[in-house]
């Protein structure tokens, strides 16, 4: 099937053709026709499956087709809610690409930066608003935005919303939406709480599902290099001697580790940057832009900061630290080999991470190819007392950060419940 067969309008087809997109991915093939016919959609799809286009294209097309009816529109017609700033920006870029030959205008609002530029953009009456929950509620409370005219509502990465403590915020937003609307709901996994939420949002949805979280794309080659903790940097530098590895996303388990990797790489004259929770929004966005524009060769990221990173044709992902959660591995390597492109995932494994690899292989249902032919092989030599102390220190720090973030979310939830509420709407339909 081609995009032409999906009955898309010429202006969208032109932009897709310029981007080199000829055939829709499986999630697009299933979701776009249903959405264009006005159906609610429940999509099970992880990052890298092309799901942004699966909701952006039908939203743009329907706004264009109903432009005469909405000629006097003052408030947004479409709302896309997503968990992170990075993902919101990525979605905004996608709307600009797919809709560049249409009159549809969009804007992105997120926290962590001053709101003045965002409120100015809202005054220009965009038809589409892409938002993170916290900043959206803030601007609603300040009456900079109204949701009374929303015709299309998209909730993206719902499971991540649950993980990050945003579900109560989402429920507040839903109550402010019109009863009569079309809703599209996407989640990589479908735990009971997410399915229950989808039932509150959707009306007789078309369910589409591709690439469950336990799966890795067939286009991604996975390799494992076993080594020791002290040798990881040398092994990374050895791998980077390959000139083909010109754009590499490197994952670190901790923020401190990410900064240390960047420092060590720069000492070896390798251009790189880092994105993690301790970086300002400006710093993170600058590093991401430099990486996309190939001004730096490596981007070192932690898992939360990397959520939503979408880089066309990214081929290489390196796990400097093997994640201790198997699903995190699937999400990490899904940053490459996207939308049918080939990708290579390399994991650097020290002895203390061997158990994590076994858990990952059990989840994905396959053995990861071990590369033995390299100059820094893993030995049975245990960590030194200093290394073990550092390992335990990082472990305790991660635990403290986890509980601190959880308590912060709970406190925010208590604060949010006291915010000024908008006019309460009745049930979905």
Per-residue confidence (pLDDT) for residue 191, from 0 to 100: 78
Whether 185 maps to a domain, the answer reads yes
Do the domain assignments include residue 130?
Answer: yes
Distances 374 to 254, 324, 355, 378 between C-alpha atoms, Å: 26, 24, 22, 10
Both tokens assigned to 134: 């916290």
| 224 and 353 inside one domain | yes
Give yes or no: residues 254 and 108 share one domain.
Answer: no
The whole-model pTM stands at: 0.61
- Say whether both 199 and 269 belong to one domain: no
Please state the three-class secondary structure of the chain as a single string: CCHHHHCCCHHHHHHHHHCCCCCCCHHHHHHHHHHHCCCCEEEECCCCCCHHHHHHHHHHHHHHHCCCCCCCCCCCCEEEECCCHHHHHHHHHHHHHHCCCCCCCEEEECCCCCCHHHHHHHHCCCCEEEECHHHHHHHHHCCCCCCCCCCEEEECCHHHHHHCCCHHHHHHHHHCCCCCCEEEEEECCCCHHHHHHHHHHCCCCEEEECCCCCCCCCCEEEEEEECCHHHHHHHHHHHCCCCCCCCEEEECCCHHHHHHHHHHHHHCCCCEEEECCCCCHHHHHHHHHHHHCCCCCEEEECHHHHCCCCCCCCCEEEECCCCCCHHHHHHHHCCCCHHHCCEEEEEEECHHHHHHHHHHHHHHCCCCEECCCCCCCCCCCCCCHHHHHHHHHHHHHHHHHHHHHHHHHHHHHHHHCCCCCCCCCCCCC
- Domain final position from 189, 209, 229: 209
Q: What is the dihedral of CA 281, 283, 284, 289, to 10 degrees?
A: 120
Domain boundary among 349, 370, 391: 370
8 A C-beta contact, residue 48 and residue 339: yes
Residue-wise pLDDT tens digits, 18-75: 887 878 988 999 999 999 999 999 998 766 678 899 999 999 999 999 988 888 888 9
Domain holding 249, by residue range, is 220-370
Label residue 280 exposed, middle or buried (CB < 10 Å: 0-12, 13-18, 19+). Answer: exposed
If one counts the domains in the chain, the total is: 2
Are the CB atoms for 316 and 247 separated by under 8 Å? Answer: yes
Instruction: Give residue 285's pLDDT.
Output: 83
Question: Is residue 173, in this structure, part of any structural domain at all?
Answer: yes
Full pLDDT tens readout for the chain, 429 residues:
889 899 999 999 999 988 878 789 889 999 999 999 999 999 987 666 788 999 999 999 999 999 888 888 889 999 999 988 878 988 998 999 999 999 999 999 998 889 999 999 999 999 999 999 999 999 999 999 999 999 999 999 888 888 778 889 999 999 999 999 999 999 877 878 888 999 999 999 999 987 655 667 788 999 999 999 999 999 999 999 999 999 999 999 888 899 999 999 999 999 999 988 778 778 888 998 899 899 999 999 987 666 657 777 899 999 999 987 777 888 889 888 776 778 999 999 998 889 889 989 988 889 999 999 999 998 765 556 666 666 666 666 656 665 665 566 556 555 444 444 344 343 344
Residues 36 and 128 in one domain: yes
What CATH number should be reported for the domain holding residue 299?
3.40.50.300
Residues 129 and 194 both lie in one domain? yes
User: 386 in a domain, yes or no?
Assistant: no
**What is the pLDDT, as a whole number, of residue 419?**
42
Residues 200 and 312 placed together within one structural domain of the fold: no
Could you give the angle at the alpha carbon of 134 between the alpha carbons of 114 and 401, nearest 5°? 95
Classify residue 133: in a domain, yes or no: yes
Record the tokens describing residue 376, joined without a space.
């820094």
């Amino acid at each position: 099937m081609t995009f032409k067969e999906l009955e898309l309008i010429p202006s969208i087809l032109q932009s897709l053709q310029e981007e080199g997109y000829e055939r829709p991915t499986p999630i697009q093939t299933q979701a776009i026709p249903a959405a264009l016919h006005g159906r609610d959609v429940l999509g099970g799809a992880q990052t890298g499956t092309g799901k942004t286009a699966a909701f952006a294209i039908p939203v743009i097309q329907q706004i264009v087709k109903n432009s005469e009816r909405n000629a006097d529109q003052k408030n947004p017609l479409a709302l896309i809610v997503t968990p992170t700033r990075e993902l919101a920006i990525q979605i905004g870029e996608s709307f600009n690409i797919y809709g560049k030959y249409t009159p549809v205008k969009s804007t992105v609002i997120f926290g962590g930066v001053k709101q003045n530029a965002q409120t100015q953009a809202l005054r220009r009456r965009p038809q589409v608003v892409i938002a993170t929950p916290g900043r959206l509620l803030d601007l609603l409370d300040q009456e900079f935005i109204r949701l009374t005219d929303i015709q299309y509502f998209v909730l993206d990465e719902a499971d991540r919303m649950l993980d990050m403590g945003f579900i109560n915020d989402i429920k507040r937003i839903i109550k402010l939406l019109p009863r009569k609307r079309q809703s599209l709901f996407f989640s990589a996994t479908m735990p009971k709480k997410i399915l229950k939420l989808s039932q509150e949002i959707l009306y007789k949805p078309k369910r589409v599902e591709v690439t469950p979280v336990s799966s890795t794309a067939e286009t991604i080659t996975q390799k494992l290099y076993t080594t020791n903790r002290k040798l990881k940097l040398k092994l990374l530098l050895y791998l980077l001697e390959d000139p083909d590895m010109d754009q590499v996303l490197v994952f670190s388990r901790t923020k401190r580790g990410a900064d240390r990797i960047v420092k060590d790489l720069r000492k070896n004259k390798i251009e790189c940057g880092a994105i993690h929770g301790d970086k300002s929004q400006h710093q993170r966005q600058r590093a991401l832009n430099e990486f996309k524009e190939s001004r730096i060769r490596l981007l070192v990221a932690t898992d939360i900061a990397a959520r939503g990173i979408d880089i066309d044709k990214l081929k290489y992902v390196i796990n400097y630290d093997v994640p201790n959660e198997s699903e995190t591995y699937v999400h990490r390597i899904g940053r490459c080999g996207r939308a049918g492109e080939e990708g290579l995932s390399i994991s650097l494994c020290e002895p203390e991470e061997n158990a994590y690899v076994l858990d990952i292989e059990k989840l994905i249902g396959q053995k990861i190819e071990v590369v033995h032919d390299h100059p820094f092989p893993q030995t049975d030599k245990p960590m030194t007392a200093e290394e073990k102390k550092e390992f335990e220190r990082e472990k305790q720090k991660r635990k403290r950060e986890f509980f601190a973030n959880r308590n912060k979310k709970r406190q925010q939830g208590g604060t949010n419940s006291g915010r000024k509420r908008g006019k309460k709407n009745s049930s979905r339909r």
